Structure 1
Amino acid sequence: MSARATIAVLTTLLASACAMHHARDGRPLALDTHVDIPFAYMAEPRFDAGGDTPLKVDLGKMERGGLDAAFLVVFVEQGPLDAQGYAHAVAQAERKYAAIDRLLQRYPGRIRLARTPQDIRANRAHGRLSAAIGVENAYSLGHDLARLDAAWARGARYLGLVHVGNNDLCSSSLPDAERHETNERGITDFGRAVVARANALGMMVDVSHASDACVRDVLAISAAPIIASHSSARALVDHARNLPDDLLRAIAARGGVIQAVAYREFVKRDPAREAAEKALQKAVAVQAGDAEYDSEKHDYLPAYVEGMRRIDAQFPLATLDMYLDHVQHIARVAGIDHVGIASDFDGGGGVDGWLDASQTRNVTEGLRRRGYDEDAIGMIWSGNLLRVWQAAIDAGAKHQEAGR
């Protein structure tokens, strides 16, 4: 290797190391593990993330707020566990993969796909944003293990096993009472096969939305550390979607990470607000001529937006400090190495002080006010998640080596 080539390699390595948790200006590398996208993402001008949009996360908001990377989520709502339901779920997932592809193709100078932690750091070092891909609800696999490999090929790097309502992998933290479901079933044989295949690929397994029984089963069988991509602390807000202290400790003991989520109901219980929101959703749906509320269709209608402004005035949102209470609790219980950040923006997330990606720096300042030093803030914002991501990749490589 020539002297010039050697210097170039050393320069690249140094830049990557400096960008690991902090930018050259000292700002931490900020990574949000859960950002939803609508089905019309990048297909309609109003949802072109390169422009000024009603979305809580678009490229301009990320750039202004200092949000370097986001896992864009391929979410599919739970439906029937039959051939027709599976086919519909697979088709819906494809729409979201295609939407992310359009984003990356349209704005390659501003945002690139990240398939590895190294990609996140390299994009940051070159002044670009990163889009990583997460799957929420493995129902979109259509009960076909081969589709997990297809998701990996499309760039998916974490797999959320379940959503609201039990599926063919495991029981949900919020089972469907009308279908007489319970949250006690845990993981299924298909779920075990999916976890094993995710481990072999190097894909992170995500237990947010899973029942406590399912989380315990996954901890027992996963060959790699796991994540909870968007879950807060049940000790502070007694909601089934939050994790109890014993599971916080158990995830940490296996090397995993819990990404505290800034979702209003998981940060602050307010039954009166929840009732008002449900009433608004029903009224807007009726006004639009629909039998039931559909967030994809109704959340951006003027009547809904104005109604939410009235609700916010009457029933104040959870605050950034309330959210940071959850971050701090998880850090105390699980350890500073096992907590991260998630917004659930464009999926119901947002607290007063962090209402969209443009306010991302407020989270950093809030952590500083609580006494966290710059190294700890870097770990919370990205370092912990990137470590677990790399551990999943390493476990996959070990599995592949053993199979040769």
Structure 2
Amino acid sequence: MIWCVILLNVLSGFIICSADINKEKALRLMRETPLIDGHNDLPWQMRQLFNNELEKMDLNTLEKTHTNIPKIKAGRLSAQFWAAYVPCESQYKDAVMKTVEQIDVVHRLCHLYPNDLMFATSSDDILSAFKQNKTASLIGVEGGHSIDSSLGTLRMFYNLGVRYLTLTHSCNTPWADNWLVDTGKDTSENNGLSDFGKELIREMNRLGMLIDLAHVSEKVMNLVLELSIAPVIFSHSSAYEVCKSKRNVPDDVLKKVALKKGIVMVNFYNDYVTCQKTANLSNVADHFDHIKKVAGHEIIGFGGDYDGVSRVPEGLEDVSKYPDLVAELLRRGWTDTEVKAALGDNLLRVFREVEKVSMLTSCFSITKHCHYFIHYFSLLIFEVRDSMTAIKPYEVPIPYADVVNPCRTMYGYPPQDNAGSMISLGLHLLLLTLLLHGTILQLF
């Protein structure tokens, strides 16, 4: 019995020592390579808790969220894409205004906490913030409904610092289908992407804006992977084969992302980790392992979805816990190179590629046809965004019939585009007149 107790103590000490070694190694790797997370909804919490009145809270002491400055420091979070999110209920109403307010929140957070947060818009900015021991703060707009089917709005968002657009959230836009289509809870309205949606992909390539495929239908995933000349991202999605939620990425798509040299940033939401209400850190690591096995370590990243979900795994309760997940990957045999790739090297590579494009500028004047030709040369190392400045912005608006609603005016559209709607309105007025006329006659 005494020998059994001694043996158990020795084994326990060995396990603790091994865990400490992995944690220490994790922290060392995180000092050498920036941890970049693809999605955090802290700005939405600012809306929900304080109605965006940031003076009412202190990010150093805030305890109602997964994210605050001490937790950021403990988690070695070097760069964060903050989500500028507004609900689908705002579509066709005040989505653009509400989204601009969320973009403003990110700017103001960086202004209020300049010693800890640094506003960033490029891959170089991420590295600069890392050297200064600050968290690079980038913006991703979560949901295509936020641009109200306007490429002008998309371009202005870019000018305000937005560096990715999630094409849909949990509703269709007039030009793209969302993931609920694949569950049967929504119907396809665009056969994946409309013609306008395809032009939007080209415009995002031209701008140098990351295309985010989290929340889209599988058909949209495949269409965009064919259309885009730049790598794409899944800012907060996991592996479908590990948890069969339609918010996750199927194996065949993972392989296409690898061919496109894109990235899938693993989500920590329990429902997408285990497809159950409960999950743990090890379950999240299973997604990392699966993606690596299917498509290689070069496409993996972190996309915690903190402050945007109601349930997170045991062991990953908030943003301070990233080092524990990194230590788990090391325990599972991940090499330093593989860990550094997942931490930030993969995202930095993708970001740089999105800031690049082929040197075939001579055919840029034939935008649509050349786009497909350039696709086959998109792996060439030339500045994409900067080279594409020769291409003029796409200016044809979405057809009015695709977006007509009581909150939208028709200014700018030629009369023929409105003919159908005007005829329809005329018929409705005629029927109403006849109905009223009949009612009046009955009174007499």
Alignment TM class, shorter chain as reference: 0.7 to 0.9
Assess if the C-alpha contact under 8 Å between 1:42 and 1:48 holds in 2. no
Alignment match, 1:399:
388
Deviation at 1:181, TM superposition (A): 1.7
Q: Are positions 1:329 and 2:290 aligned together? A: yes
**Structure 1 residue ranges (4+ consecutive) displaced by more than 3 angstroms after TM superposition:** 21-28, 44-48, 175-180, 401-404
- Within 1, Cα distance between the matches of 2:241 and 2:184? 28
* Residue segments in structure 1 that go unaligned for 5+ positions in a row: 1-20, 274-316
CA apart distance, 1:372: 1.1
* Cα gap change, 1:138 to 1:402, in 2 (>3 Å): closer
Aligned to 1:228: 234
2:331 aligned partner: 369
Partner of 1:358: 320
From 103, 107, 117, the counterpart of 2:109: 103
Matches within 5 A, 1:272-291: 273=277
| Residues 247/103 of structure 1: CA separation in 2 closer, same or farther (3 Å cut) | same
| Equivalent residue, structure 2, for 1:56 | 66
Q: Pick which of 23-32 and 66-75 moved more.
A: 23-32
Report the AA paired with residue 385 of structure 2. G
Q: 2:291 is paired with a residue of what secondary structure?
A: helix
Q: Which residue of 2 aligns with 1:290?
A: none
Equivalences for residues 308-319 of structure 1 within 5 A: 317-319=278-280
In structure 2, distance between residues paired with 1:254 and 1:178: 29
> How far did residue 79 of structure 1 move?
3.3
8 Å CA contact 2:174, 2:189 repeated in 1: no
- Pairing 1:218-257 to 2, within 5 Å after superposition: 218-257=224-263
What is residue 13 of structure 1 aligned with on the other side? none
Structure 2 distance, partners of 1:176, 1:338, is 24
**Residue of structure 1 aligned with 2:147, choices 116, 120, 141:** 141
Q: Map Cα deviations across residues 199-233 of structure 1 (whole Å, 9 max, x no partner).
A: 00111101011100011111111110111111111
Distance 2:31 2:54 in 1: 37
Cα shift readout 1:235-269 (whole Å, capped 9, x = no counterpart): 11111111110000011111111111111101112
| In structure 2, distance between residues paired with 1:235 and 1:198 | 30
Given that 1:35 and 1:346 are in contact with CA atoms closer than 8 Å, whether structure 2 keeps it comes out as yes
Match of 1:126 among 128, 132, 135: 132
How far apart are the structure 2 equivalents of 1:398 and 1:383? 24
How far is the alpha carbon of 1:30 from its aligned partner?
0.9
C-alpha contact 2:33 2:345 (8 A) present in aligned 1: no
Which residue in 2 is equivalent to 1:30?
35
Aligned counterpart in structure 2 of residue 387 of structure 1, from 349, 361, 375: 349
Indicate the percent of aligned positions where both proteins have the same amino acid. 28
Kindly state the Cα deviation for residue 126 of structure 1 after the two structures are TM-superposed: 1.2
Where relative contact order (Cα < 8 A, 6+ residues apart) is larger, the structure is 1
1:41–1:253 distance in 2 versus 1, CA, 3 Å: farther
TM, length-normalised to structure 2: 0.71
Range that drifts further, 177-186 or 328-337: 177-186
Residues 25 and 66 of structure 1: CA distance in aligned 2, closer, same or farther (over 3 Å): closer
| Partner SS, residue 344 of structure 1 | coil
When the two structures are aligned, how many residues end up with a matched partner?
335
CA separation of 1:153/1:48 partners in 2, compared to 1, >3 Å: closer, same or farther?
farther
**Against the structure 1 CA distance between its residues 25 and 227, is the aligned structure 2 distance closer, same or farther, given a 3 Å change threshold?**
closer
**Which is greater in Rg?**
2
Q: TM-score, normalised by structure 1?
A: 0.78
Partners of 2:206 and 2:389 within 8 A in 1 = yes
Q: Report the aligned-residue RMSD.
A: 2.4
Q: Which residue of 2 aligns with 1:65?
A: 75
